[in-house]
């Protein structure tokens, strides 16, 4: 059973629909008993870093998730804001502590002439290292991004794929059983569905 | 590299897809649910649905429309069905007045909403909505008509209400207030197939730093290439063009590739 963490940050319905279309049981919940029964955990989310951490804290989710993900090593996927919250700290509207599951900092995409922020739309990724999460992904794979901030991990080894928008930034991260995508696989048609399928088998 | 997006816009009127001309005439051309498999097959970049039903609606169903309509369904039902089968960004607009209107659409699977009338009546609503749902969720649609003085002016409520707003100033303002994208539509070009309004689009793209979706007037596939070259919008959109030919979306993408544009194939 895939559990989509419901922490009142954005469009969880799409993520749930996408997993349901792959034929797996999906529950959207913030109840500890559901999270404990999950085989896979997904942290979706769009919105600001500070709000995301505040909601996770207020719902009492941080210790439960830490136990399941860091303790029991359940496969975990962070999507978009759900990826950024894994960092040590975020700098959106002030400094905020993150979960620190993948050490790093979340910063604004540096602005350049002709570069519209947020980065919205379909973009390619460059695979930096082989990993089951990107199995069978074609050269021309494109994903839907929508974000103004990007994740800079402390160890470059945590990066599976990067994307270019002015700068080159982390598009897919992986550390142990923790996976994360800056793009929205649930909105990225067949390439995105492939990532979700690979996550289920990872 | 970031791709130029090509976005079909579906106009919904009383639960059916309609074709529009100059925002005045609407002809029923399809059922939103039966058309879904087509968009999936096309692998569209994104879909925008705008509900243009009005409270004082008249029945536009024509006997010659030959549309098999399924049972009556609400916009929210449509969002739910669409979001369960189309795994691309979905935007829903039309008749949004309150945060709850946005919430109900997002809860059923909308990724973004477009604001138009309410943004004009209460610009602070853009900020409120962006704070709750994030900037990426809030697309402000700007409908522009040349007024009797030959100047561009923002209109709303279809084309019924002149607002006195200048499109460039209004675009800057909505960006400042927290809009994540702008859907810029030329009412003059709507349904005319006369090509995009390059001057209008360029002026708004140049004045803002958020993505602009250009709409209104696409008549041939080449029009997409021309407008991207001339005005550099982040995305191009069309409604009518995609309704009448089965392979139109793919042909449009091919033409864009041929024209040297970076599109998702």
Predicted ipTM of the assembly: 0.90
- Say whether A189 and B88 touch across the interface (CB within 8 A): yes
Model confidence at A37: pLDDT above 50: yes
CA B105 vs CA A11, A13, A176, B92, B101: distances in Å: 10, 11, 36, 7, 7
Average pLDDT over residues A34-39: 97
pLDDT number for residue B225: 97
Residues of chain B with confidence (pLDDT) below 70: 55-72, 244-246
pLDDT number for residue A28: 96
Percentage of chain A exceeding pLDDT 90: 86
Q: Where are the beta strands (DSSP E) in chain A?
A: 2-5, 26-29, 40-43, 76-79, 89-90, 96-97, 104-108, 119-124, 126-127, 142-147, 149-153, 159-165, 167-175, 178-181
pLDDT number for residue B55: 53
Model confidence at A160: pLDDT above 80: yes
**How sure is the predictor about A87, in pLDDT bands with cuts at 50, 70 and 90?**
very high
What DSSP assignment string belongs to B103-163? Answer: HHHHHTT-SEEEESHHHHH-THHHHHHHHHH-GGGEEEEEEEEE-TTS-EEEEETTTTEE-
pLDDT number for residue B245: 67
The residue extents of the domains of chain B are 5-258
Taking every pair of Cα atoms in chain A, the longest distance, rounded to a whole number of angstroms, is 49
Put simply, whether B254 touches A (Cβ < 8 Å) is no
Model confidence at A12: pLDDT above 90: no
pLDDT number for residue B52: 85
Q: Are A133 and A160 in contact (CB under 8 A)?
A: yes
- Say whether A17 and B83 touch across the interface (CB within 8 A): yes
Closest-CA residue to A197 (of A74, A40, A30, A68): A40
- Say whether A116 and B210 touch across the interface (CB within 8 A): yes
pLDDT number for residue B63: 37
pLDDT number for residue B68: 45
Q: Which residues, including other chains, have CB under 8 Å from residue B235's CB and lie 6 or more apart?
A: A121, B4, B5, B6, B7, B45, B46, B211, B212, B213, B214
> How far apart are the two ends of chain A, measured CA to CA in Å?
14
Q: Which residues, including other chains, have CB under 8 Å from residue A174's CB and lie 6 or more apart?
A: A131, A133, A158, A160, A180
Interface of B with A in 86-105 (CB under 8 A): 87-90
pLDDT number for residue B66: 42
CATH T-level topology, domain A2-201: Rossmann fold (3.40.50)
Q: For A46, name the nearest residue in chain B, comparing CA atoms only.
A: B134
Residues of A involved in catalysis: 80, 184, 186
Q: Which CATH number describes the domain made up of B5-258?
A: 3.20.20.70
The residue extents of the domains of chain A are 2-201
Q: Are B4 and B261 in contact (CB under 8 A)?
A: yes
pLDDT number for residue B243: 75
B150 Cα to chain A: minimum distance (Å): 30
pLDDT number for residue A8: 85
pLDDT number for residue B36: 78
Average pLDDT over residues A4-18: 90
Tokens of B86: 């189309």
Model confidence at A111: pLDDT above 80: yes
Of A17-26, A114-123, B113-122, which range is least confident?
A: A114-123
The mean pLDDT value of chain A amounts to 95
Which residues in chain B are contacts of A192 at CB distance < 8 A? 87
């Amino acid at each position: 059973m895939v559990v989509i963490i419901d922490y009142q940050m954005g469009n969880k319905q799409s993520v749930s629909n996408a997993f349901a279309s792959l034929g797996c049981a999906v529950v959207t919940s913030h109840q500890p008993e559901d999270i404990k029964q999950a085989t896979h955990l997904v942290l979706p989310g769009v919105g600001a870093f500070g709000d995301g951490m505040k909601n996770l804290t207020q719902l009492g989710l941080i210790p439960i998730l830490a136990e399941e993900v860091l303790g029991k090593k359940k496969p975990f996927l962070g999507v978009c804001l759900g990826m950024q919250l894994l960092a040590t700290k975020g700098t959106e509207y002030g400094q905020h502590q993150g979960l620190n599951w993948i050490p790093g900092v979340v910063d604004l995409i540096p602005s350049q002439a002709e570069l519209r922020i947020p980065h919205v739309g379909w973009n390619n990724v460059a695979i930096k290292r082989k990993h089951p999460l990107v199995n069978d992904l074609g050269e021309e794979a494109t994903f839907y991004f929508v974000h103004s901030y990007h994740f800079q991990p402390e160890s470059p080894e945590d990066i599976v794929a990067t994307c270019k928008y002015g700068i080159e930034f982390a598009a897919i991260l992986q550390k142990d059983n923790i996976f994360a995508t800056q793009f929205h696989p649930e909105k990225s048609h067949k390439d995105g569905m492939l990532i979700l399928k690979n996550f289920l088998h990872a | 590299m970031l791709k130029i997006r090509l976005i079909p816009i579906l106009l919904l009127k009383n639960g059916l897809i309609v074709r529009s001309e100059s925002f005045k005439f609407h002809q029923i051309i399809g059922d939103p649910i039966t058309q879904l498999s087509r968009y999936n097959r096309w692998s569209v970049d994104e879909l925008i649905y705008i509900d243009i039903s009005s409270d004082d609606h008249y029945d536009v169903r024509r006997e010659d429309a030959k549309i098999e309509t399924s049972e009556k369904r609400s916009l929210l039902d449509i969002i739910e069905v669409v979001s369960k089968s189309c795994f691309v960004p979905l935007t829903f607009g039309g008749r949004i007045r309150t945060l709850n209107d946005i919430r109900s659409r997002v809860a059923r699977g909308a990724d973004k909403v477009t604001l138009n009338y309410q943004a004009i009546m209460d610009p602070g609503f853009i900020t409120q909505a962006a704070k709750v749902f994030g900037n990426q969720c809030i697309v402000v649609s700007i409908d522009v008509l040349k007024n009797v003085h030959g100047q561009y002016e923002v209109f709303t409520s279809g084309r019924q209400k002149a607002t006195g707003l200048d499109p460039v100033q209004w675009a800057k303002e909505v960006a400042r207030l927290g809009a994540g994208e702008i859907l810029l539509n030329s009412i003059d070009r709507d349904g005319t197939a006369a090509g995009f309004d390059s001057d209008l689009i360029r002026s708004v793209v140049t004045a803002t730093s958020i993505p602009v979706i250009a709409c209104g007037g696409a008549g041939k596939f080449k029009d997409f290439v021309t407008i991207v070259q001339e005005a550099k919008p982040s995305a191009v959109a069309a409604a009518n063009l995609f309704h009448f030919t089965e392979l139109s979306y793919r042909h449009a993408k091919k033409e864009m590739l041929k024209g040297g544009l970076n599109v998702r194939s």
